[in-house]
Every structure is written in C-alpha cells, then in structure tokens.
Structure 1
Amino acid sequence: MKITRLLPFGCAALLGLASCSKNSSDDASSAGMSKFEVRLTDAPGDYRAVNLDVQQVQVHVSDDDNANGWQSLTLIRPGIYNVMDYTNGNSALLTSADFPAGKISQIRLILGSNNTLTLRDGTVVPLNTPSAQQSGLKLKIDAVLVRDVTYQLVLDFDVAKSIVARGNGAYNLKPVIRTVTTAVAGGIRGVATPAAARPLVLAIRTSVAPNDTLSTTADATGGFLLRGVPAGTYRVELLTASPYRNATRTGVVVANDQITDLGAVSVQ
C-alpha cells in the first residue's frame, strides 16, 4: 500500500484527499492544539487582475483590542496574490498551522506596498491601501476552535465592492471581505496496549471509493492521534510485528467537528 502525506481548513466586514494519504506525524502529545487554515477566495469583478501584497496574517485571541492579543501565523508564501485567480471554488492557502484550541475573535491581513490593479484595457495602476499597510485589514471572526479538530477560515474577497475609483485615474482599496470559519475534518485517537508494540495505525475510509488511507505510529505510551480526518466511516488497523498481533476496528464514524476516541485497543 502506498502512503503519501495528507495536508490538513459569517460576517461581512470592511476590510481533496488522494486515494491513499499519510497523516502528519501526530501523537498523543499534540492534544490541546487545533489545525487552522486560512484561505483567500474571490467574487469576480470587472478587472484583469487585483494583486495584493500579503505579508502577514495575524489572529487575535481575546474580545478586546489589546495589542498583546495578536499572534502571527507563518505564511506559506508571503508576496503577491492575484485574487482574480481564486474564483468559482478556487482558493489560495495562505497559512496552515497548529494553533492552541480556544477562541479567536479577529484576524487581520498586513499588506506590503506592492498592491496593483490591472484594468480591462491592460493598464496597471497602484492600489492605495494606507491603513492595511500600517495596522492591517481587521475582520471579526468570533470562532471557537476545538482541540485536534481541523478548521478552515475562508476570506471571501468581494472585488466589485472593494475597489473604489477616485475620479482622477487613481483607485483605493477598501476591502469588503466575508469570513467563514468551518470545521473541515475531525480525528481518531486511541491507546495501543501494550505500549511496547508501537504499532503502525491505518485509518481507511470505507464510505467512499476509492478508499482514502491515513496513517500514524503510536508513541512510547501507546497513544495515537490521527488529525485532519474527513467525515466518514473508517476501518482502523493497528499493524505490529511478532510477538504482538494486529488489531482491527470497523465502522469507526468520524464527524468533521469532533475526535472519535477508540479507547484502549489490545494488540497482545
């Protein structure tokens, strides 16, 4: 069986798995964290390109605007994103990171200075975004992340409402972005006994064809945790070497917003 790696995610505001996949090397020590993705998508507008110079994504974990509440997420690729490329269900993955479970109240995008608009006739003009460059484009979220669950925050950029012509050939960016936070995957956890067996754990989704497969290895305590598991029904196999025995659990149901706990699974 071939096993490859699986990559784990409203309000208006101004401003697929492969057929056989490997889960990231999660174990029981990962408990307390959620997987958090931020994606950028766009509603079409009457322009050739709207290029945003995205330099940082930050989230705020309290209800007030205390500066100490902001935490930066590592961008997959800082730089220029043409939001016109991400329409009709397409999106740009800005960041995917482990994040402490709990409340997130706001998010902000901090832009660089290289923001441009390409008009229908091919003319390229600057997009003026002074507030975004200084303090960021702030958006309300008000989401609660549950540990070990994978979430996706989609920033739905409305180009038609966000580009404002100034009348002198110049354009301002006053972004209108709708935020949608959704639990997109759950997880499976359990404990292999005895711990010394250190089995390979496979979760094979039987409710779709072809079957998806995720994998991890039990840690030194016997604990295992598969995160980023899409909703469905799974067969969970614990594969060991002699003198231990393989074990199988069937009909394991996973929902996007929860972790399914198998408890103790004997491989004795």
Structure 2
Amino acid sequence: MKYLKSVTLKSLMIATLVSVGLISCSEDDSSTNNGEGTANLTVRLTDAPGDYDAVLVDVQDVEIHVETEAEGELEGDDDGDGWVSVGDVQTGVYDLLELTGGVSQLLADTEVPAGYVSQMRLVLGSENSVVINGESKPLNTPSAQQSGLKLQINQEFVAGENYAFLLDFNVDESVVTTGNGSYNLKPVIRVSAQADAGMVVGKVTVPDDIEVNVQSLVVLTANDADITISAYTNDVGEFALHGVPAGEYTITITPQADLGLSVHTNTEVEVRPNETTDLGEIEL
C-alpha cells in the first residue's frame, strides 16, 4: 500500500473549495444577459483511494460547454460547437495517489465566458500509466483522448462571479483490468460545486508502541442520501474530505489490516454549509 508524502493541516486548508452565490442582475445589464462578460473559474483535481503504487494521468486541457445569448461565434470556440478551453491550464502528468489526505492539484484559475455551462470535459493525453508492485504499466484511455471525459455542470455562470469545482478522481473504479492483463483508464469522477458544501478534517492516531506509519481508509457516508466520499490519511494521520453537502454522516476509519487495529465508526458527524467540521484526534 502506498504511503503518502507528509502534509500539514495548513496545506489541507489550501484545497478548500470557494463557491460564491449568484447575484441578480437587471435585464439591461448586457455583460450578464448576453454572455459578453466573463466569470472566474477555479478547477482542482483530487483523488479518492486506490490500492496501487502510483496512478499517473496526463492532463492536457480542461474545456467547458457554454451557451450564450450573444450573436456570432463564441471567442475560443474553434469548432463552432460551444466547447471552449478554460485557458491557462496547468498541464502535466500527475500521480493521483499523491492527491489524497486533503491535497489537491490546481488545474486552472482563469476567466471564462459568462453563460449557461452545461458540461466540463477533462482532456487526457497518452502518457497515462499505473505502477503495481514497482512495475509501470500503460493505461489505455481511448475515449478521454479523443473527445475528453464529459462531466455534468448545468449551472449559469454570471459575469463577475467566482465558481470553484473539485474533480474527485475515484482511482479504484477508474482503473480497469482487461482479460489480457492490460489496464484501461475509464475515469470515474465526482464533481463537487455545491454552494453549501462543507469539509471534514481530522487526524488519526495509533498507540505509541506502533512505530511505523499507519495509513487508514476514511469513508464518509450520508445517513439519509446516496453520498459516499473517501480518502486515505497521509503519513502523519491527517485527512480532509472536500465538497461535502450539508447533512448527517457516518464516518468509518479502517487502518491497514496487518496491524490488528480496530475500525473506528462515528454515526453522528454533522456537516454544516460552508463550514469545516474538525473531528480532532481520533485514536484507534
């Protein structure tokens, strides 16, 4: 099982989502109604757990599908189909298993055309791979390379407002083994952008006589809805779960099996809108 690089709770806070509510505008405000203005968009990438040494994805672009009332072609829409690059994308090959325990990778912080955004798509290149038991194997991603992985947004971007999205990459569901022993990448991504989203943080501790780093799986499950959010702790036991809708949750912390530690369960975790729920130190 992969042990993560050390991060502090201060670094976890850097990845906190910011989501600003919409404001109403009059009909004669042309920068809002005809799509000629711009809105600020922030996109970050993080990872749900996966039991590999590394999972490397080659991010080439982030695009949005914009519908505006403005006449003529939308700036940046080269194919006339409504898709535009968000611009200033931090392209590169990222190890998803380093983006857990509350860490996220900034992909874009830029201005985009105002208007109704129906979808976002993550465009991947060909340099994708998975490392298992020290051996690197290629990850085939035909659909993502050709047209980009489409994610539902369905939100009006108002000129002058700020919008933040967290792309939570579920590695365990995204890496698929084929019959001939090769691996396909079929990305499963949870998009979080709720205005009322909160965050749950904490630190898992173990008895003093255990002298090795202990990595635990943290799973947050809604008590009355179909919502499950998970992450691994880092090498000092810290975790952060982002983009959590307000509500009541059960948290389950499962340490690595070879140490014989008990599973911790708390069925009364309350998440409030736009707040961080700090569970403090949790001793196994």
TM-score (norm 1): 0.53
Pair 1:51-2:56 in alignment: yes
- Is residue 60–residue 69 contact of structure 1 (8 Å, CA) maintained in 2? yes
Pair 1:151-2:156 in alignment: no
Cα separation, 2, equivalents of 1:36 and 1:81: 21
- Is residue 42–residue 164 contact of structure 2 (8 Å, CA) maintained in 1? yes
2:122 aligned partner: 109
Cα separation, 2, equivalents of 1:33 and 1:182: 20
How many angstroms does 1:171 deviate by?
0.5
Q: How does 1:212-251 map to 2 (within 5 A)?
A: none
Pair 1:122-2:134 in alignment: yes
What residue identity is the alignment partner of 1:137? Answer: L
- Is residue 62–residue 89 contact of structure 2 (8 Å, CA) maintained in 1? no
2:38 aligned partner: 33
1:171 aligned partner: 183
1:81 aligned partner: 94
1:208 aligned partner: none
How many angstroms does 1:183 deviate by?
5.2
Unaligned runs of at least 5 residues, structure 2: 1-12, 15-30, 69-78, 197-273, 275-284
What residue identity is the alignment partner of 1:84? Answer: L
Cα separation, 2, equivalents of 1:85 and 1:75: 22
SS in 2 for 1:55: strand
- Is residue 66–residue 82 contact of structure 2 (8 Å, CA) maintained in 1? yes
Map Cα deviations across residues 2-43 of structure 1 (whole Å, 9 max, x no partner). xxxxxxxxxxxxxx68xxxxxxxxxxxx98322101111110
Cα separation, 2, equivalents of 1:148 and 1:39: 20
What residue identity is the alignment partner of 2:65? Answer: H
* Equivalent of residue 134 in structure 1, options 146, 150, 174: 146
1:98 aligned partner: 111
How many angstroms does 1:147 deviate by?
2.7
Cα separation, 1, equivalents of 2:102 and 2:160: 26
Cα separation, 1, equivalents of 2:154 and 2:168: 16
Cα separation, 1, equivalents of 2:113 and 2:86: 12
Q: Which has the larger radius of gyration?
A: 1
Distance 1:67 1:135, change over 3 A: farther
Cα separation, 2, equivalents of 1:168 and 1:136: 25
- Is residue 151–residue 182 contact of structure 1 (8 Å, CA) maintained in 2? no
Q: Of Structure 1 and Structure 2, which has the larger fraction of its residues in strand?
A: 1
Aligned-pair RMSD on alpha carbons?
2.6
SS in 2 for 1:175: coil
Distance 1:149 1:182, change over 3 A: farther
How many angstroms does 1:89 deviate by?
2.0
Cα separation, 2, equivalents of 1:149 and 1:135: 28
What residue identity is the alignment partner of 1:83? Answer: L
How many angstroms does 1:77 deviate by?
2.3
- Is residue 57–residue 108 contact of structure 1 (8 Å, CA) maintained in 2? yes
SS in 2 for 1:94: strand
2:209 aligned partner: none
TM-score (norm 2): 0.50
SS in 1 for 2:51: coil
- Is residue 152–residue 183 contact of structure 1 (8 Å, CA) maintained in 2? no
4+ long deviations beyond 6 Å: none
How many angstroms does 1:167 deviate by?
3.2
How many angstroms does 1:88 deviate by?
2.4
